Homo-oligomer: A and B are copies of this chain.
Amino acid sequence: MAAPVIGVFDSGFGGLTVLRELQKVMPAANYLYFGDTAHLPYGAKSVRTVAKYAIASAHFLESRGIEMLVVACNTATALALEDIRAAVKVPVVGVIEPGAQRAAEISKSRKAAVIATEATVSSHAYQRALHKFGLESVEKACPLFVPLVEEGWVEHPVTEQVAHIYMDEIFRDGARGADVLVLGCTHYPLIRSLLRRVVPAQVEIVDSAESTAAKVVNQLGSARGQGPAGTLQCFTTDSVEKFCRLGSKFLGHSIENAELVDIEK
């Protein structure tokens, strides 16, 4: 059976943490990664705007022959997953449900804390998904984590101080009793070690990137992704040089090239 062609979409670089997990579990698949960097970040934009860009990006990937689309962006999943599903013919996997499901498997207290961007939190998409699996939840926007990660301060005292402020706010208030913390933004896996030091010891950290990769394997069948390493083609809507440079940090290995695409035509 032929190796699958999987489209992975994000507003920028964060989705590359999902691609990294996918490449671990399905190395032979061929990947098309689309980073809509001309419009990032989605985290502070409205539903209408995010849906418009996400659908245009999804159409682009569909035109390139993908058989499955991974929306590797929490904000786009939270705000526009159903719109994207309605706009394309291929199956679409978002990052929120897999993360919520994993949290539900782990939690004994049946209470989760979720950290994400402003737009994802405002949508309450995690709260709804967790509720479906029987978990109570408290959500908190952490708008400084994305710029701190993009500044490269992933092990920096300022980031640790900001993490202490955010985590104190969430665990002191509503999330008392939560025993799982869901990383509801694809940038956050880069500060997972730092967060591990700051978050209360009894709280387990769930990374949506891992859970999403596991769901894709489940849907496509793990056998199809095994074999010699497949190809990776990257597309970006802004600077190719910046995409390759910053993107390599998120993917964990170097990105040689990306193709510049205009989705506003």
Contacts and interface: CB of A to CB of B under 8 A. Distances in A.
Interface in A139-185: 143-144, 146-148, 150-151, 157-158, 161-162, 165
A264 interface: yes
Interface stretch (A3-11, A38-46, A126-134): A38-46
Interface string A49-68: 10000000000000000000
Given A38-B45, A238-B46, A239-B46, A148 B158 contact: no
A174 B144 CA distance: 28
Interface string A13-47: 00000000000000000000000011100001110
Contacts of A242: 44, 46
Contacts of A238: 45-46, 49
A49 B45 contact: no
Contact-residue bracket for chain A: 20 to 34
Contacts of A239: 45-46
Contact of A158 (B39, B46, B165): B165
A242 B118 CA distance: 12
Contacts of A46: 238-239, 242
A135 B161 CA distance: 38
Contacts of A237: 49
A162 B85 CA distance: 42
Contact of A38 (B49, B144, B165): B49
A39 B148 CA distance: 20
30 contacts: A37-B45, A38-B39, A38-B45, A38-B49, A39-B39, A44-B150, A44-B242, A45-B238, A45-B239, A46-B238, A46-B239, A46-B242, A49-B237, A49-B238, A143-B147, A143-B150, A143-B151, A144-B144, A144-B147, A144-B148, A144-B151, A146-B147, A147-B147, A157-B161, A158-B158, A158-B161, A158-B162, A158-B165, A161-B161, A264-B264
A-B pairs with lowest CB-CB distance, top 6: A46-B239, A147-B147, A38-B49, A264-B264, A46-B238, A49-B238
Given A37-B45, A264-B264, 20 more contacts: A38-B39, A38-B45, A39-B39, A44-B150, A44-B242, A45-B238, A45-B239, A49-B237, A49-B238, A143-B147, A143-B150, A144-B147, A144-B151, A146-B147, A147-B147, A157-B161, A158-B158, A158-B162, A158-B165, A161-B161
